[in-house]
Amino acid sequence: MKAGIFITGTDTDAGKTVVSAGLALVLRDRGMKVGVMKPVATGCYGADERLISQDAAFLMEAAQNEYPPLTSPSRYRNPLSPNVAAMLEKREVDVPAILKSYQQLQKHYDFMIVEGIGGLMVPLKKDYYVANLIRDMGLPIVIVTYAGLGAINHTLLTVDAAMIRGIEVRGIIFNRVSVTNYSLAELTNPKVIHDLSGVPVLGSLPDIQGLNLENCQFGKLKDIFRERIQIDKIVGPNTYQPEQSGGWGRPSHPS
């Protein structure tokens, strides 16, 4: 299988789209042909037969991709959990179609960036979660979280959920980190999370000047991403592998 990464988060609005787009911009700048995918999206807009995912459109613009139907194969209007949106709109999430779209996209690109919806335990359909999709795609993950109060619990829960399911965690990225007037929690939480989980911290992103998802404007995202994120640990050889038995394992290279 070709190389790729699945960008997940500790919650909705953690910053998965910004991280996915930033990675796409930087890898394109390196000369790589990068594919992006938003397999399941809710809260879409437009006509029912041609719903548009704002996140998918932003990613496609960042990567300069074609193949919109493959990039965003499962779209729903209601801004709800996919299983609930699917029930209300009477269209079950078609997992085989998503996996087929992913396999088709792999043929056209050197590296795939797949953005999840919500966190690992968001249900896509009965007894099938985002974590199941990650396993079926065979991808490692990067976890996007925040640094403020509550981050320790939410991030460790996400790491634990991944490890129990045998999902490889490449690292953690903190998003919307204050660069001035930061709180004591923001100052201390990244190190605490690393020390407790053993998962590498790959960097942090502040609010990006000029960034606008609605208008597909990236502002200084590419330059800031390049400066502040350890990109080679995302796309390079495995830097972290969960132990098969689950529980807290430690990487051979923790930072």
Q: What is the pLDDT of residue 166?
A: 97
User: Is the pLDDT at 236 greater than 80, yes or no?
Assistant: no
Per the document, the length of the chain is 255
In a domain, 241, yes or no: no
Give whole-number Cα distances, 241 to 33, 100, 187, 217, in Å: 26, 27, 27, 35
Model confidence at 242: pLDDT above 70: no
Backbone CA torsion sign across 84, 131, 75, 12: positive
Whether 142 is covered by a domain: the verdict is yes
Q: Is the pLDDT of residue 214 over 50?
A: yes
Tokens of 231: 């990109």
pLDDT for res 2: 63
CA 219 to CA 223: how far, in whole Å?
Answer: 9
Averaged pLDDT score across all residues of the chain: 91
Q: What is the pLDDT of residue 104?
A: 96
User: Whole domain around residue 51: which residue ranges?
Assistant: 3-235
**Beta bridge mates, 41:** 75
Cα–Cα distance, 16 to 161 (Å, whole number): 18
- Please indicate, yes or no, if residue 200 is contained in any of the structural domains: yes
The reply to whether 117 falls in a domain is yes
Q: Tell me if 229 is assigned to some domain.
A: yes
Q: What is the rounded CA–CA span in Å between residue 57 and residue 90?
A: 24
Characterize the bridge pairing of strands 217-218 and 211-212.
antiparallel
Question: Is 89 part of any domain?
Answer: yes
| Dihedral angle, C-alpha 172, 174, 56, 69, nearest 10 ° | 0
| Predicted confidence band of residue 238 (pLDDT cuts 50, 70, 90) | very low
**What pLDDT shows up at residue 246?**
38
pLDDT in tens, 87-113: 999 999 999 999 999 999 999 999 999
Residue 182, pLDDT score: 87
CATH number reported for the structural domain that contains residue 79 in this entry: 3.40.50.300
The mean per-residue pLDDT over the stretch 238-247 comes to 37
DSSP 123: E
Q: What is the pTM of this model?
A: 0.91
Alpha helices in the chain (DSSP H): 16-29, 54-63, 68-71, 82-89, 95-106, 130-137, 151-164, 184-197, 221-228, 231-235
Q: How confident is the model at residue 50 (pLDDT cuts 50, 70, 90)?
A: confident
Q: Which of 2, 16, 33, 38 is catalytic?
A: 38
- Summarised one tens digit per residue, pLDDT across range 135-153 is 999 999 999 999 999 999 9
**Per-residue pLDDT tens for 56-81?**
999 999 999 989 889 999 999 999 99
The answer, yes or no, to whether residue 252 has pLDDT greater than 60, is no
* 54-57 long-range Cβ contacts below 8 angstroms, 24+ apart: 54/213, 54/214, 55/16, 55/17, 55/115, 55/213, 57/216
The one-letter amino acid code at 192 reads: V
Number of domains forming the structure of the chain:
1
* Domain-located, residue 42: yes
Is residue 253 in some structural domain? no
Residue 125 designated active-site: no
